[in-house]
């Protein structure tokens, strides 16, 4: 078996047909996966059904036998307890940041950056309009691919144990998911122009993002996190999720228990996931612990975001494609075309340089 993976160039992309293959007749910028608000898609018979927060169902994409899109024409999964993947990382952020359909090679969005002010006036004044300031912003779609190959001998020799091809597809799908999650958090377009920026690079002070960025320069404290949330609130933000590493989360939980010994700090968010939480000026905020966040002392961070303004914009979700057969093996590729947009970084922020 062999494989290679990474963000790469566009090549020849027919965005109209790719969009229709993934999303059928769903309109552009439709939300189809948003864990924080209970929106998800699920295969039911030969249809993929969109479930929204009110439990109503809407018919979405027809899945015929010719479709190879992962998540649409599902491959039956065989789990064998004797096959343990010790490299696997959890990827909860994939379903907590909303995924929206995106028609085209550019994800566009619009913002109001300044509003005309209302004013108290006399009984019969001259009425003059006050103009608002608007801006158009955009992010280019990026292209992630991975290839795998299974020899004919491997498929036959291991057939009594499990499907070698199925195992290879499952492993490569997990690799795709982990790369997407890592890029959402720590993508760096300056280092690799073929990927999009992640939260670490977006939640920075100064142009173009103007987010709140504060150096801790020592051990984390509850006061520092609460101040970050308050700073976001005063910049007109409304944070609903904190993201950090396991050690920083442990320190915060321990400090909370010193004050409130008999109150469980955990809350349940999307899909029954239990996470720690903090009481702040905007209410209790869940703390997502990610295996992709840096854990080295002085490099640890906390991101403070509002998932209603961060989006995964998807031209084509993870899809399976067989490649040309040139030897006694089966070669395939998984690919996805997507990017991330943050519509309101000014109301979000991060703490960095957290140490033991």
Q: Are residues 90 and 161 in the same domain?
A: yes
Q: Are residues 210 and 174 in the same domain?
A: no
State the residue range of the domain holding 240. Answer: 203-309+345-354
Question: What is d(CA 230, CA 95) in angstroms, rounded to the nearest whole number?
Answer: 26
Given this model, what pLDDT does residue 164 score? Answer: 84
Span between the terminal Cα atoms of the chain, in Å: 42
Q: Per the domain annotation, does 127 fall within a domain?
A: no
Q: Token digits for 212?
A: 């709140």
The distance of Cα 38 from the centroid of its chain, to the nearest Å, equals 15
Residues 269 and 154 in one domain: no
Taking a C-beta distance cutoff of 8 angstroms, is the pair 175, 5 a contact? yes
Question: What gap in Å lies between CA 51 and CA 124, rounded to an integer?
Answer: 53
* Residue 36 confidence (pLDDT): 83
Query: Does residue 112 sit within a domain?
Result: no
- Tell me: do 76 and 10 sit in the same domain: yes
Which has the closest alpha carbon to 248: 228, 268, 273, 276? 276
| Contact assessment for residue 310 and residue 78, using Cβ atoms and an 8 Å cutoff | no
Q: Could you tell me if residue 117 is inside a domain?
A: no
Nearest to 288 by CA among 330, 246, 227, 230: 246
CA distance 337 to 339: 7
Claim to verify: residue 171 and residue 74 sit in the same structural domain: yes
Task: Determine phi and psi for 54, rounding to 5 degrees.
Answer: -95, 10
> Is residue 141 domain-shared with residue 219, that is, in the same domain?
no
Q: Is 132 among the domain residues?
A: no
Residue 218 lies in a domain: yes
Are 87 and 215 within one domain? no
Do 189 and 267 fall within a single domain? no
Residue 327 CB neighbour total at 10 angstroms: 9
CA 232, 287, 356, 345 dihedral sign is negative
DSSP run (H or E) holding 160: none
d(C-alpha 356, C-alpha 345), whole Å: 28
Q: How many distinct structural domains can be found in the chain? A: 2
Residues of the chain scoring pLDDT < 50: 1-3, 55-81
Same domain, 189 and 210: no
Residue 161 resides in a domain: yes
Q: Is residue 175 part of a domain?
A: yes
Burial class (CB in 10 A: 0-12, 13-18, 19+), 354: buried
Q: Are the CB atoms for 243 and 252 separated by under 8 Å? A: no
**Domain-located, residue 126:** no
Residues 177 and 301 in one domain: no
Compute the distance between CA of residue 45 and CA of residue 68 in angstroms, rounded to an integer: 16
Instruction: Assess whether 75 and 13 both reside in one domain.
Output: yes
Distance CA(62)–CA(300), nearest Å, equals 44
For residue 325, the model assigns a pLDDT of 87
Same structural domain for residues 154 and 272? Answer: no
Query: In Å, what is the CA distance from 35 to each residue of 41, 53, 71, 96?
Result: 11, 10, 16, 5
**Rounded to whole angstroms, how far apart are CA atoms 302 and 280?**
15
Residue-level pLDDT at 77: 43
């Amino acid at each position: 078996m062999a494989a290679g993976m990474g963000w790469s160039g566009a090549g020849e992309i027919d965005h109209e047909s790719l969009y229709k293959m993934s999303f059928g007749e769903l309109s552009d910028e439709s939300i189809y996966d948003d864990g924080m608000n209970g929106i998800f898609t699920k295969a039911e018979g030969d249809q993929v059904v969109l479930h929204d927060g009110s439990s109503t169902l809407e018919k979405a994409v027809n899945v015929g036998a010719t479709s190879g899109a992962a998540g649409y024409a599902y491959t039956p999964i065989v789990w064998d307890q004797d096959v343990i993947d010790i490299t696997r990382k959890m990827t909860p952020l994939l379903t907590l940041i909303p995924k929206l359909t995106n028609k085209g090679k550019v994800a566009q969005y619009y913002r109001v950056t300044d509003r005309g002010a209302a004013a108290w006036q006399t009984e019969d004044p001259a009425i003059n309009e006050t103009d608002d300031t608007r801006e158009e912003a955009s992010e280019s779609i990026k292209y992630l691919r991975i290839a795998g190959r299974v020899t004919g001998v491997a498929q036959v020799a291991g057939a009594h144990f499990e499907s070698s091809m199925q195992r290879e597809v499952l492993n490569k799908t997990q690799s795709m998911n982990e790369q997407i999650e890592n890029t959402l958090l720590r993508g760096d377009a300056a280092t690799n122009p073929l990927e999009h920026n992640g939260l670490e690079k977006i939640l920075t002070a100064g142009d173009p993002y103007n987010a709140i960025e504060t150096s801790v320069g020592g051990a984390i404290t509850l006061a520092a996190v609460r101040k970050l949330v308050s700073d976001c609130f005063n910049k007109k933000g409304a944070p609903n999720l904190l993201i950090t590493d396991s050690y920083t989360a442990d320190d915060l939980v321990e400090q909370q228990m010193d004050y409130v010994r008999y109150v469980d700090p955990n809350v349940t968010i999307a899909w029954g996931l239990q996470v720690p939480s903090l009481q702040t000026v905007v209410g209790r905020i869940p703390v997502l612990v990610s295996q992709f966040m840096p854990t080295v002392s002085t490099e640890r961070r906390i991101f403070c975001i509002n998932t209603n303004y961060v989006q995964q914009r998807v031209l084509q979700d993870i899809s399976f494609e067989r490649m040309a057969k040139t030897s006694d093996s089966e070669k395939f590729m998984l690919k996805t075309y997507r990017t991330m947009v943050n519509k309101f970084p000014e109301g979000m922020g991060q703490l960095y340089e957290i140490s033991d």
